[in-house]
Amino acid sequence: MRGLLSALVALAVPFGAARAQDTPAEPLARVAALELSRQFDEASWRALLTHAQPEVRAAAARGLGRLQVPAAKEMLWKALGDQAVPVRVEVAFALGQTPEVAPARLIKALAKRRDPTVRRTLIEGVGKRGTPAEVGALLKLAKAGPAPERAAALVALALIARREDGPVAGLDATPVSAALGDADAAVRAAGAYLLMRAKGL
């Protein structure tokens, strides 16, 4: 029995050490410190955005989204191809928050993404950064596809319309009428929001 206990203790020590090394607490603390400093240390952020643990990569993307630094956009675009879906979602959100990210590029990125949450988050980003130039693409998204994507496209149109002083070229009452009669409650709510925000409908 004593020999068995000794063997178990011997096994437990390296296992515990490995677990301690695997914990993301330290890199997560670095993410928090960088975010609080409001400084864009490119090398540090890049290391965290490519960390071995997905929760660290996701936290780094979230932090960059809050930091909203244009210089981070290319590393974020690269990270959009991350293997982990939660990381891609955070990266998509960060891109939508980052100044100088071209909304047309966000729309183009949709063609390569299949995960519904990533796609919806990219569409939301178009609403934050978009201009009337993106209306046509958003109208197509509002007409077809899963309900969450249609709702996101309608909200994106509403956000673009809200930033304009007058009617938005290419935007009429057709998508609103279709949305208000949709079977999905979220799509109906998004259609009503667009009706409130868009002038001249």
The predicted-structure confidence for 23-78, as pLDDT tens digits, reads as follows 678 999 999 999 999 889 999 999 999 999 999 999 999 999 999 999 999 999 99
Give the predicted TM-score (pTM) of the model.
Answer: 0.83
Q: Which of 73, 12, 21, 17 lies closest to 52 in space, CA to CA?
A: 21
Residue 185 burial by Cβ neighbours in a 10 Å radius (0-12, 13-18, 19+): exposed
Which domains, from first to last, does the chain contain?
A: 25-101 (1.25.10.10), 110-201 (1.25.10.10)
**Contact, 127 vs 160, CB < 8 A?**
yes
* pLDDT given for residue 23 in this prediction: 60
